[in-house]
Structure formats: structure tokens, C-alpha cells
């Protein structure tokens, strides 16, 4: 592997800019799509507030972090004071309410790691997951959204990486591969590491946004409109970045020792986090630190089989970006 880490990028790399940008544009949800999502949220709000007048609904995940595809599910967080009531009881009640309002495929998953109610709105055709009091997800959604506003290349890179991951079947945590959230963090970290850097480390700057959620302090600089020119010194094109992203994960990342950390904007060591041993099911074969829940490794789902699958896919992508005559097709070929 290592002999390839110093490869320089192919000469005709910038030929790939136009098709990659066209792909990016084609993956952005339309205004119509966004409007449908808003309509669904309003409908749910009305139903929920009849029963719990003090409850509030928040969008999180890809429909709110600006990394969503047109067909992405809508993730909703219901924030309410539960008092003595069990979460599962509320979820079952919600399911009843939604069913009697003719929403389809209503299902309460009360035993999941994050318990949710699933439903499909027959009017808009949109599917939706509703969880309760998962405020950290709402806050990390805002962080991703704020990063996306600093430099357009983050969204371009992340859309292409997510599209690649979905096409190649490596975007399924239940199969030991990575979540979309993890891929976006990998993209943010990668752009923080470019020289000159394309993204800053917002959690290392002056604090302008601060919340505490279940003892976790979430603090960072969120006045990103002041950072519009941050990445201007770096003139790398999206094609160069896609090439370098896959090259990094194929040949350069030190899987044995390093943790990528958006929180610090740098690489930190597994040893420092005590992520060197297997504890329970956490193997730490690829380490991605959650920016707020710092004991959380988003790579914990990866096992000894799926790490091979992942690394082979990174290498395949890197080879294609380097040598293939038509990368914009081959890269996304269904597995
Ligand atoms: N999330 C989290 N911790 C995880 C996984 C997810 O906090 N380990 C939260 C994040 O707020 C994330 C949201 O759940 O934005 C949805 O996660 P995911 O489905 O991975 O990403 P989406 O952005 O919704 O992508 P997709 O388009 O694939 O639905
Ligand atoms: Mg989602």
C-alpha cells in the first residue's frame, strides 16, 4: 500500500471537474422537494401539539444539514418534557395518533438504540423517522450545516462521497459500514487538513454558540458568514479533492494509530483515547470521533470483515480516480 502514497495526481484531473459538478447539481434536492418536507413537518406539528401542547419538533439529519439527497428520509426530533412517562409509551401513543390520521406504514420501534416511530406520508410520498429528545443530533446537524456554509467545496465533495458510498453499498451501519454522518465528518476533517486549509476548526475558535445537552457541552463559533473567504488561499478543484480524499483513505491514513477529529481539526491518537483495545463490540478499526460526544467512535460499527470491504472500496476508488478513462461512470457503478 505504502508505495502508492506519494503518487501525484493524473495530469488530466481537471477534465473531471465539469462532470463531477454536474453530478453534484443533479443530486441537490429541488425547492419543490424542500417544500414537501416543510409541509410534512407542519402536518406532524399540528398532530403532536393537539396531544402535547408544549412539545416542539425539529428537523435533523440530511434534510436539515444541507447534505441531503432528494429521496432522503426526513429525520424529526420531538422535544418534550417526559416527566414520569416512559419514552416507549409516548412512541406508541404517537403511532396511534399518526395511524388514525391516515399516515401509512406507521411503526413504533421502541427497542432500537435510538427508539423511533416510522411513517410514510401518502400525500408527499416522504418517509419520516421521529425520535424523542435526541437533542445532540439536532446540535450536530447545526454544526454540519454551519461548516457547509463556509466553502461550497465541502458540499460538493460530500455529495460525491455519499453518492459513491450509496452506489457501492458501503453506507449501511447494520452491515458494518459507515453512516452518512460519518462520511460527512470525514470530508470536513479532510478539508480542515488541506494546506492551505479549506475549512477552519469551529470548535477551536471564539465561542458564539453554546448549549449543554445531557452534560455534554457543545460550543463553537457559528458566525460563519464572517468566514466566507476562509478557503480562498486554497485553489484546489473538486476533482483534485475527490482524488485526494480517496488517495488519503486508500494509502495514507494510519488505521492502526490515528483518530480523525473534527473537534480539534487535527489527527489525534487512539492511545490517547484508550481506543487501542477491543471493549465489548467496539473494535476501533477505523476511528472517527464524534465532535460533541467525544467518547463516541462513529467507526465502532466496523468489524474485521467490513473494514476489508471498506478499504478495498477506498482503493478501488483511488485507482479509478488515478487511471480510469471514465471515472465519473466507473466510480459509481453498482456493486
Ligand atoms: N447521528 C448521530 N450519531 C450517529 C449517527 C447519526 O448523531 N452515530 C445523527 C446526526 O445528526 C445525523 C443524523 O443522525 O445528521 C442522521 O444520520 P444519517 O442517517 O447517518 O445521515 P443523513 O445525513 O440523514 O443521511 P442520509 O441522506 O443517508 O439519510
Ligand atoms: Mg437520514
Instruction: List the grid coordinates of 16.
Output: 473531471
| β-sheet bridge partners, residue 56 | 79
Instruction: List the grid coordinates of 142.
Output: 447545526
Say which DSSP state 282 is in: B
38 Rama class: left (phi>0) / alpha (psi -120 to 50) / beta: alpha
Cα-to-centroid distance, 15 and ligand 1 (Å): 33
pLDDT at 294: 97
Class level of CATH domain 2-27+140-330:
mainly alpha
The stretches in the chain having pLDDT less than 50 are none
pTM of the model: 0.97
Pairing of strands 104-109, 116-120: antiparallel
The residue among 82, 136, 130 whose CA lies nearest residue 108 is 130
pLDDT in tens, 156-211: 999 999 999 999 999 999 999 999 999 999 999 999 999 999 999 999 999 999 99
Instruction: List the grid coordinates of 89.
Output: 409509551
Cα-to-centroid distance, 286 and ligand 2 (Å): 22
**Backbone phi and psi for residue 131, each to the nearest 5 degrees, phi listed first:** -115, 170
Could you give the C-alpha distances from 302 to 104, 233, 267, 270, 317, in angstroms and in order?
33, 36, 19, 16, 19
Could you give the C-alpha distances from 67 to 183, 189, 207, 267, in angstroms and in order?
11, 16, 24, 24
Which numbered ligand comes closest to the C-alpha of 129? 2
Cα-to-centroid distance, 324 and ligand 1 (Å): 32
Could you give the C-alpha distances from 262 to 3, 107, 165, in angstroms and in order?
28, 35, 20
pLDDT at 1: 57
The residue among 93, 96, 139, 133 whose CA lies nearest residue 114 is 133
Q: Give the span between the Cα atoms of 21 and 11, in whole angstroms.
A: 19
3-state SS, residue 181: helix
* Closest ligand 1 atom, residue 62 Cα: 23
Class level of CATH domain 31-136:
alpha beta
3-state SS, residue 139: helix
Please list all protein residues whose beta carbon sits less than 5 angstroms from ligand 2, which is an ion.
61-62, 73, 75
Cα-to-centroid distance, 180 and ligand 2 (Å): 8
Pairing of strands 74-79, 127-132: parallel
Name which residue sits closest to atom 16 of ligand 1, judged by CA. Answer: 61
Q: How far is CA 87 from the centre of its chain?
A: 26
End-to-end CA distance of the chain: 23
* Closest ligand 1 atom, residue 69 Cα: 27
Where are the domain boundaries for CATH 1.10.1410.10 in the chain?
2-27+140-330
Please report the ipTM that was assigned to this predicted complex. 0.98
pLDDT at 4: 80
* Closest ligand 1 atom, residue 181 Cα: 20
Tell me how many degrees the CA angle 240-172-160 measures, rounded to the nearest 5: 20
Q: Give the span between the Cα atoms of 229 and 226, in whole angstroms.
A: 8
pLDDT at 173: 95
pLDDT at 7: 85
Which numbered ligand comes closest to the C-alpha of 162? 1
Name which residue sits closest to atom 9 of ligand 1, judged by CA. Answer: 137
Residues with CB under 6 A from ligand 1: 60-62, 65, 67-69, 72-73, 75, 137, 140-141, 179-181, 298
The residue among 80, 77, 193 whose CA lies nearest residue 140 is 77
Amino acid at each position: 500500500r505504502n508505495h502508492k502514497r506519494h503518487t501525484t495526481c493524473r495530469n488530466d484531473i481537471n477534465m473531471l471537474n465539469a462532470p463531477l459538478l454536474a453530478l453534484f447539481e443533479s443530486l441537490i434536492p429541488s425547492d419543490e422537494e424542500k417544500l414537501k418536507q416543510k409541509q410534512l413537518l407542519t402536518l406532524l406539528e399540528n398532530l403532536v401539539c393537539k396531544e402535547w401542547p408544549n412539545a416542539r419538533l425539529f428537523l435533523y439529519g440530511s434534510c436539515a444539514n444541507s447534505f441531503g439527497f432528494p429521496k432522503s428520509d426526513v429525520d424529526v426530533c420531538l422535544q418534550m418534557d417526559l416527566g414520569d412517562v416512559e419514552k416507549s409509551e409516548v412512541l406508541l401513543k404517537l403511532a396511534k395518533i399518526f395511524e388514525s390520521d391516515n399516515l401509512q406504514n406507521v411503526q413504533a420501534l421502541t427497542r432500537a438504540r435510538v427508539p423511533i416511530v416510522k411513517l410514510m406520508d401518502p400525500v408527499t410520498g416522504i418517509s419520516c423517522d421521529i425520535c424523542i429528545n435526541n437533542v445532540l443530533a439536532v446540535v450536530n446537524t447545526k454544526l454540519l450545516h454551519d461548516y457547509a456554509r463556509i466553502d461550497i467545496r465541502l458540499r460538493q465533495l460530500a455529495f460525491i462521497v455519499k453518492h459513491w458510498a450509496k452506489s457501492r453499498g458501503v453506507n449501511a451501519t447494520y452491515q458494518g459500514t459507515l453512516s452518512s454522518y460519518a462520511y460527512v465528518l470525514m470530508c470536513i476533517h479532510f478539508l480542515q487538513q488541506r494546506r492551505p486549509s479549506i475549512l477552519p476548526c469551529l470548535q477551536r475558535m471564539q465561542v458564539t454558540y453554546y448549549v449543554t445537552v445531557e452534560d455534554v457541552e457543545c460550543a463553537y463559533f457559528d458566525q460563519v458568514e464572517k468566514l466566507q473567504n476562509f478557503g480562498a488561499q486554497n485553489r484546489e478543484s473538486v476533482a483534485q479533492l475527490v482524488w485526494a480524499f480517496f488517495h488519503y483513505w486508500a494509502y495514507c491514513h494510519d488505521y492502526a494509530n490515528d483518530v480523525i477529529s473534527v473537534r480539534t481539526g487535527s489527527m489525534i491518537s487512539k492511545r490517547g483515547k484508550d481506543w487501542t483495545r477491543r471493549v465489548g463490540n467496539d473494535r476501533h478499526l477505523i476511528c472517527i470521533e464524534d465532535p460533541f460526544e467525544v467518547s463516541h467512535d462513529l467507526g465502532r460499527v466496523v468489524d474485521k470483515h467490513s473494514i476489508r470491504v471498506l478499504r478495498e472500496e477506498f482503493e478501488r476508488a483511488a485507482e479509478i480516480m488515478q487511471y480510469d478513462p471514465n471515472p465519473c461512470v466507473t466510480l459509481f457503478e453498482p456493486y
